Amino acid sequence: MDGVVRLQRTFVMVKPDGVQRGLVGAIISRLEAKGLRLAGAKFILIDRALAERHYGEHRAKPFFEGLVSFITSGPVLAMVWEGDDAVAQVRRLMGGTDPKQAAPGTIRGDFGLDIQFNVVHGSDAPETAEREIGLFFRPDEIVTYEKAMEAWVSPRH
Classify residue 134: in a domain, yes or no: yes
3-class SS at 71? Answer: helix
121 is catalytic: yes
Give per-residue pLDDT as tens, 35-92: 999 999 999 999 999 999 999 989 999 999 999 999 999 999 999 999 999 999 999 9
Give per-residue pLDDT as tens, 91-147: 999 999 999 999 999 999 999 999 989 999 999 999 999 999 999 999 999 998 888
* Active-site residue, selected from the candidate residues 54, 58, 121, 157: 121
Classify residue 156: in a domain, yes or no: no
- Entry pTM: 0.90
Contact in structure between 94 and 127 (CB atoms under 8 Å): no
Identify the domain containing residue 128 by its residue range: 7-143
List the CATH number of the domain containing 48: 3.30.70.141
pLDDT band with cut points at 50, 70 and 90 for residue 154: low
Report the alpha-carbon distance of residue 39 to residue 10 in Å, rounded: 10
Distances (CA, A) of 21 to 18, 75, 76, 113, 156: 5, 12, 12, 11, 37
Task: State the total domains in the chain.
Answer: 1
